[in-house]
Amino acid sequence: MSTTLKYLRALADPTRLRILALLASDELSVNELQEIACMGQSRISTHLGLLQETGLLESRREGKRTFYQWNLQADATARRFMEMAVRGAAELPESADDAINLKRILGRRKEQAQVFFNQVAGRFDRVYGPGRSWQAFGHLLLRILPPLVVADLGAGEGLLSELLARRCQRVIAVDNSEKIVAFGAAKAKKNGIKNLEFRLGDLQNPPLDPQSVDLVILSQALHHAEDPAQALAGAYRILRPGGQIMVLDLLQHTFTESRELYGDQWPGFAESDLHRWLEKVGFKAVEISPVAREEQPPHFQTLLASAVK
């Protein structure tokens, strides 16, 4: 087979176009390509193998990971085909999500603190230590919090709100259930927590003044909103300049029973969707990463997203 035909064959698949476009500016590992393209390892590896065999890509090993990049020794003809692949990939419907996910992955590489945390978390349960628990760590971290004004949107009965109120200047817990708001307010009064206020309201239009809080938290609440993007816009409105939003929610899943069992409006979210919505509203310094995975089926995974106004 001629070289030209080999290149044409390599570019005949949309997934390979996407891979070549993703590798145009930086090398990526197999796992990173999996996460960006939302594909299984075997599928990604098959396409990478064909592209490398054709001479368009080269790879290197680093420990247990393999990184791929454009073949730096490729001739002018090969480079023209690779540039065509980038133009073709830009016309695919996955192009926008690929760009967002690539930006997120490259940003994560720079966050050494996150890497360290993941390493610590991975070791945490391996060796028993008397008195060492996530509960104890949580109390320690709460003591470090500055005296912020916090809005806990979709707060439910206010478990997180109560914990935050023990350190923060003021916490406003918002929920759309009259019974839950009444319960939370009564519990806060009983426990003598005077800086915790419960308000009845909608996630998409929180009942707070513009630019009135330092931190907005949406903890496993966004997937209950009819319009998650509008809920993020509402959070942006009530934040002061320089304020921060933090979203804990489910990674997109296929457990369809969640709507009936838990009243979920959305089956979790793709990282690219959250990233796009946050940036569209006006947030900066967006960071999103998986932080937990349940051991039992259906193996729900939790994302942590943060951004600054």
pLDDT at site 268: 94
- The CATH number of residue 265's host domain is 3.40.50.150
Specify the 3-state DSSP secondary structure of 300.
coil
Confidence of residue 143 (pLDDT cuts 50, 70, 90): confident
The rounded Cα 270 to chain-centroid distance in angstroms is: 8
Q: Could you tell me if 216 and 155 are in contact, meaning their C-beta atoms sit under 8 angstroms apart?
A: no
> How far apart, in whole angstroms, are the C-alpha atoms of residue 16 and residue 45?
11
Average pLDDT of the residues in 12-34: 92
Q: Looking at the 3D structure of the chain, how many domains does it have?
A: 2
Residues 65-100: tens digit of each pLDDT:
899 999 988 888 888 999 999 999 999 999 999 999
Asked whether residue 277 falls in the same domain as residue 206, the answer is yes
The two tokens of residue 47 are 């396409």
Q: Is the pTM of this model over 0.85?
A: no
The two tokens of residue 228 are 């998650």
Asked whether residue 240 falls in the same domain as residue 185, the answer is yes
Residue 106 belongs to a domain: no
Residue 287: C-alpha distances to residues 32, 104, 109, 138, 244 (Å):
16, 7, 11, 22, 11
Asked whether residue 37 falls in the same domain as residue 176, the answer is no
Average pLDDT of the residues in 57-70: 88
Which pairs with CB-CB distance under 8 Å and at least 24 residues apart come from 143-147?
143/167
Residues 108-124: tens digit of each pLDDT:
776 654 555 555 555 55
Single out the residue of 254, 180, 193 nearest to residue 221, CA to CA: 180
Asked whether residue 258 falls in the same domain as residue 161, the answer is yes
Residues 209-245: tens digit of each pLDDT:
999 999 999 999 999 999 999 999 999 999 999 999 9
- φ/ψ (deg, to 5) at 47: -65, -40
